[in-house]
A and B are shown apart, each in its own frame.
Chain A
Amino acid sequence: MTDAVVGALPVLSDELESPARRALRRLFKRKGAVAGLAVIAAFIVIAAFAPFVSPYDPIATSWSLVRKAPSAQHWFGTDDLGRDILARVIYGARASLMAGAISVGIALAIGVPFGLLAGYRGGFIDALISRITDAMLACPFLILAIALAAFLGPSLGNAMIAIGISATPIFIRLTRGQVMSVKVEDYVEAARAMGNPPWRIALFHILPNILPALLVQATLSIAAAIIAEAALSFLGLGQQPPAPSWGSMLNSAQRFLTNAPWMAIWPGLAIFLVVLSFNLVGDGLRDALDPRERA
């Protein structure tokens, strides 16, 4: 996961369109991003309405239907305990989407305030936060996540916390960088001159203007978080059986690649589609929010 966002702010212009409107319009012009949004929306709907959409109970085992190939009754086939794979992919969407959203939520909730603090205050606090952030970034992300997940205990919730904490330094660094380039702008100086306390400036003047960059990174981080959840579940540290998650489905599928390849194909495909979509949307957002683009 890297921070790859262009700096600078949308300059207030005398166009009739608000910046948000303009960004949205530009976003929808990029077909890739639109497709991505559509796919994400589809998955969210499917995950939300899982009980109605799913043909079977995802944890219902059946000894006679073990590892059956895709058929009319089981569109995606069954797994090694006779469970319907389509049902598990649908319910697994809940775990994976939640993992993505909540991990990034945690990273934002911790990272942004610290980044604001470091960027705005400067001085010793900045140095302290920056060094700790550097230290966390220097450790390979997955190792950090594995160690944290092992420490907290194997469960989906703990995996989300582990991924969230591992992703925090990126947001700290991004926020800090953004804050530092924004805080010298005129309107911030003006707000300061008017006697606004720092927290007010941070919250109402700085934060709204760095939101675009954060939004882009958040989208890209959700993509990475979903993959990280799959990796942790693959290692046995994520979603616990019998509840489904795409990563743990891949884990069980590993032993049956030649016997029952459909066990690996469908969850892998699902991860691919969702993560690709988030990446496309994130890229699209970056382009849409890029101030140097005209029209």
Chain B
Amino acid sequence: MKMMRLAITAAAVLLSFQASAQTTLRIGLAEDPDILDPTMARTYVGRIVFSSFCDKLFDIDEKLNIVPQLALSYATSDDGKELAIKLRPGVKFHDGEPFDAEAAKFSIERHINFPGSFRKPELATVDHVDVVDPLTIKLVLKQPFSPLIAQLTDRAGMMVSPKAAKEAGDKFGLKPVCAGPYKFVERVQQDRIVGERFADYWNKDNVFIDKVVFLPIVDATVRLANLKSGGLDLIERLLATDIKEVRGDSRLKLSTALELGYFGLTINVANDKNKGALSQSEKVRQALSLSIDREALTQVVFNGEFVPGNQWVSPEHPYYQKAYPVPKRDIAKAKALIKEAGITPPISVDMMVTKGAENEAVAQVMQSMAAEAGFDLKIRLIEFATSFKQAQAGEFQAFLIGWSGRIDPDGNTYVFMHTKAPQNDGGYSNPEADKALEDARLINDTAQRKAIYEKLTKISLNDLPIIYLYHRRLLIAHTTRLEGYRQMPDGLVRVIGLKLK
């Protein structure tokens, strides 16, 4: 009898070994990420890879609320200059090192002090980090800065193993060692990035897939083809025009979320050497905005899948000001405004557009629409690499460009609108706007901030340094064998809770 039972158990064990083959999640990326070091990374795709390898202090949920990840809670002091963070106990890094207050302090200070760190501007207000006890740290700020907590839900909040980081120095990105659900295994540039399940992950009960492989495939059509043929399990940045195909395929599923950012036309209001009409009067800019039929634009180019917008956050965002809805096209009013400004059409505009099939389509549609109001939008296609330089030098009259968006509304506004801010290419400067931007940073209460941003919205919709056009939908397509996937507005591919049949 005992032998029988032994035999049956043995057989069951053997069978279970057979049954549980390794599961691998293959994710198709739209480009090859840059360096996999949270301190030095700067690409959007890099963040997608990081969400599998490097956990952060905090994360967000669908409603953009702050939720715990490596940290459990936070508390801001009354004067706003101290941020105390309680850390999660029992967390280990991929190399076995423990995650504690010292490690957290090290990680944050690395983000601030490491030469070449791209996180420096995000953490600019942090003066230093104190260790209160082994599981509590305190960030001491130079001045109150409410967007800080949002920064800690992204790369600036990613924790790295001090031992590995000290050993590798600036080569850390070649073999990152963090505390995420997957451990870095290997990377072949422009080919693949491989991670395997981390056995000591703090949330390991919710990680069901053994391996994750990221495959950069630049061509969107080929990426989709791979998904359809079963070569990939999930792809990012599906083309809006391919949505119908995915919906029509019973083996595929579409996951969407409205982005945190926007797509718009930045106007050179102050640095235009040619003193074009757009830079002379806000009435002309308002006229241009009114000449665009945003509904038709998204319909033609994106099959209606994207959402028309007129503010730096989408109409579904908690900070959207409903008092100022998206305007409908009004050619008569546009023409009247131009006349009021004392300009005679046609108005020639040098519109800089970065290469990219969808960009070019949008530009051409706008060209066609704005022509009816008397604008002659001259499309100048430019390489992405050159665009920044020209933008900074003010060598444009209008720049068609999007912004991927940040969780905190400050991330969508300050750097673009504040006087002399790094991405304020148009040279916009309005002391009232500056004050609103600065005040919003000092306050923590959402309702109060929203009131301040309402003032800002009113000013910016009048001055129109940026004409907001639409908000993109994040389009992720995946096989129906993948269960439990939900898309968040920040575009990241979260792997917790995913199951592959």
A150: interface (CB < 8 Å):
yes
Check A254/B219 contact, CB under 8 A, given A154-B381, A236-B383: yes
Contact with B along A74-95 (1 / 0, CB 8 A): 0000001110000000000000
Contact between B241 and A61 (Cβ–Cβ < 8 Å)? Answer: no
A63-B299, A241-B363 known; A254 vs B357 contact (CB < 8 Å): yes
In the assembled complex, how far is the CB of residue B472 from the closest CB belonging to chain A, in whole angstroms?
A: 15
Is the pair A154, B363 in contact by a Cβ cutoff of 8 Å?
no
User: Is B239 in contact with chain A by the CB < 8 A criterion?
Assistant: yes
Most chain A CB inside 10 Å of its own CB: which residue of B221, B300, B386: B300
Q: Which of B239, B367, B368, B382 has the most CB of A within 10 A?
A: B368
A257 to B221, CA, bound (A): 8
Q: How far is the CA of A258 from the CA of B224 in the complex (A)?
A: 11
Partner of B381, one of A241, A256, A258: A241
Determine the chain A residues whose CB is within 8 A of the CB of B360 once the complex forms.
241, 252
Q: Which residues of B contact A254 (CB under 8 A)?
A: 219, 221, 357
The answer to whether A144 has its CB under 8 Å from any CB of chain B is: no
How far apart are B417's CB and chain A's nearest CB, in angstroms?
A: 30
The answer to whether A63 touches B379 (Cβ under 8 A) is no
Contact of A80 among B241, B363, B368 (CB under 8 A): B241
Query: Known contacts being A81-B365, A242-B367, is A259 close to B221, with CB within 8 Å?
Result: no
Interface size grouping (class) on chain A? 20 to 34
Tell me if A137 counts as interface (CB < 8 A to partner B): no
B30 to chain A, nearest CB (A): 13
Q: Does the CB pair B245–A258 fall under 8 Å? A: yes
Q: Is the C-beta of A25 less than 8 angstroms from some C-beta in chain B?
A: no
Counting CB contacts under 8 A, is A66 at the interface?
A: yes
Minimum Cβ distance to chain B for residue A173 (Å): 32
Interface string of A104-121 (1 = CB under 8 A from B): 000000000000000000
Contact of B300 among A66, A150, A256 (CB under 8 A): A66
Given A242-B367, A254-B357, does the pair A150, B379 have CB atoms closer than 8 Å? no
**Which A residues touch B299, using CB under 8 A?**
63
Bound form: Cα–Cα A102–B300 in Å: 36
Interface pair A241/B296, CB less than 8 Å apart: no
Seed contacts A61-B365, A81-B365, A241-B364; 8 additional CB < 8 Å A-B pairs: A63-B296, A150-B386, A154-B382, A154-B383, A240-B379, A252-B357, A258-B245, A259-B242
The 27 sampled A-B contact pairs (Cβ below 8 Å) are A61-B365, A61-B368, A63-B296, A63-B299, A80-B241, A80-B301, A81-B365, A82-B300, A153-B382, A154-B383, A236-B356, A240-B380, A241-B379, A242-B379, A252-B357, A252-B360, A254-B219, A254-B221, A254-B357, A255-B220, A255-B241, A255-B242, A255-B357, A256-B241, A258-B245, A259-B242, A259-B244
